[in-house]
Amino acid sequence: MSSLVSDLLGASARRMLKALAEGETNPAALAALADWKLRATPEQLCDALGACTDLKSVYRRLLQMALEQLQFLEQQIDRLDQELACLLPKAVAEHGDLRRKQGYTVAMAVEESRLLQVTIFTTLQKNTNDLEFSTLLPDVVIIADEGRCAIEGADAAVHGRGFRRAGQRQVIHNLV
C-alpha cells in the first residue's frame, strides 16, 4: 500500500489501516475508504489490499497497537504545542525588546527575511532535477508566509506593539 499512497499516515491510509486492524478483509471495502483525491485507483488499491484477506489476528493486533501509539504520540505533541504557545509570547516580547535596544530595525528584518528566501529559492532552483515539486510546493508557501510573519513581528517589536495570536508558527518565527 505504501507504493500507492503518498502519505501512509494520511487520512485515507489511516482509515484503511484502522478498518484492517478492526478485522475488515474485503479489499474493495478497504479501498472504498480511500479519499477520491488519492492518486491510486480503486482497482490498484484492491490489488494491493488483496494480500490482507489472510492477515492473521496477531498482525491485526500489532497494527492496532501501532495506530494507538501513533495517536498517543500525536496527542502528546498537541499538548506540548499548546504549552509552548503559552510560553512563547513572553519570550517573543523579551526578544523584541532586546533587538530594539540593540538598534535592530524593520529594514534589517526585511533584509534578513529577503536573504533567507533568496537562499532557499536559489537552493531549490539548483536542485530542480532532484525535487518532487508537488510535495515541496506547500512547504515553499509556508516559507514565504513565515517570512512575511517574521517581518510583521519585527515591525511590531520595533514599534512596541504586541503580536496578534495567529498561531504558534508565527510566534516561533518571530523569535529569529
Domain ranges of the chain: 86-174
pLDDT, tens digit only, all 176 positions of the chain: 666 777 778 888 889 889 999 999 898 998 888 887 777 788 888 888 888 888 899 999 999 999 999 899 989 988 888 887 777 777 777 777 777 787 877 777 777 777 877 887 787 777 777 767 667 777 767 766 766 676 666 666 555 554 444 444 444 444 43
Instruction: Select from 90, 91, 85, 95 the least CA-distant residue to 158.
Output: 95
First to last CA, the chain: 40
Q: Is 52 helix (H, G, I), strand (E, B) or coil?
A: helix
Cell of 54: 489472510
pLDDT of residue 169: 42
Instruction: Select from 138, 167, 173, 129 the least CA-distant residue to 154.
Output: 173
Phi, psi angles (nearest 5°) of residue 76: -65, -40
Name the maximum alpha-carbon separation found in the chain: 69
